[in-house]
Amino acid sequence: MNGIHDMGGMTCFGVIEREENEPVFHSDWERRVFAMNIASLAFLGPIDRARHAIERMDPLHYLATSYYEHWLAGIETLAKDLGYLTDEEIESGKVIDSKDTPHPPPDAEMAEGLARGGMPATREDGRQEAAFKVGEKVRARNMEVRGHTRLTLYVRGKSGVIARLHGTHAFPDTAAHDQGENSQPLYNVRFEANELWGDNVDRKDCVYIDLWEDYLEPAK
């Protein structure tokens, strides 16, 4: 979806505010939200679905709230969407009805295994043969995506060069919506500043961004 989260290229947000000696968490509730988000992935994931739940926030609310408030909104949305929580329960704090879960939640040992072992996104199945080669000129497709996507607005329709092939990765656009992983080659693509931002830009800058094969087409 074309949402406020997709903010690359905007210049309206002012200075970058920094905090000296910033703590990892500013308050106990941030700590709890962080842990809940990771621990609940077994039921509320995959991560693409979780990211999309944040993208669906009201844009004014998104801009006016902090990162962990975004995460909290994501957890609430997914838990409700998937039938694990209701507004009434959140309001009262009391369980009204419990949906059966297929397995117990991850315990401390499993959680630590997840944190230290990770969840690789590379896949042995799906499309293994890469359609584009390093050095080849490509164009990021200009296409409408109604659901979750990692094809940023600022690269759509722009031409770049394949810088690197990352192998076959699960595809977020379908994985976020229970439509399968549709695994396919993932590329790192280099775009020059004047291609992205305008003919009047002469800075010697460039952006490297990771794009899945379905986001790309041969350059015209």
Instruction: Confirm or reject binding of residue 60 to other proteins (CB under 8 A).
Output: no
Q: Which stretch binds other proteins (CB under 8 A): 58-66, 129-137, 177-185?
A: 58-66
> Peptide bond preceding 106: is omega within 30 degrees of 0, i.e. cis?
no
Residue entry with tokens 């296409």: 143
- Residue from the set 61, 81, 107, 142 that interacts with other proteins by CB under 8 A: 107
Count of residues engaged in binding other proteins, rule: CB under 8 A = 92
Contacts of 114-121 with CB under 8 Å at 24 or more apart are 114/38, 114/41, 115/38, 119/47, 121/169, 121/170
- Residue from the set 87, 104, 129, 200 that interacts with other proteins by CB under 8 A: 104
- Residue from the set 59, 67, 133, 143 that interacts with other proteins by CB under 8 A: 67
- Residue from the set 1, 6, 194, 217 that interacts with other proteins by CB under 8 A: 6
Asked if residues 42 and 105 have their Cβ atoms less than 8 Å apart, the reply is yes
Contacts of 83-88 with CB under 8 Å at 24 or more apart are 84/43, 84/44
Instruction: Confirm or reject binding of residue 207 to other proteins (CB under 8 A).
Output: yes
- Residue from the set 20, 124, 129, 178 that interacts with other proteins by CB under 8 A: 20
Q: Which stretch binds other proteins (CB under 8 A): 65-73, 125-133, 176-184?
A: 65-73
Residue 76 or 136: the one with the smaller Cβ distance to other proteins is: 76
- Residue from the set 2, 58, 81, 105 that interacts with other proteins by CB under 8 A: 105
Instruction: Confirm or reject binding of residue 122 to other proteins (CB under 8 A).
Output: yes
Spatial separation of the C-alpha atoms in residues 196 and 209, rounded to whole Å: 12
Residue 31 gets the label, from left (phi > 0), alpha (psi -120 to 50) or beta, of alpha
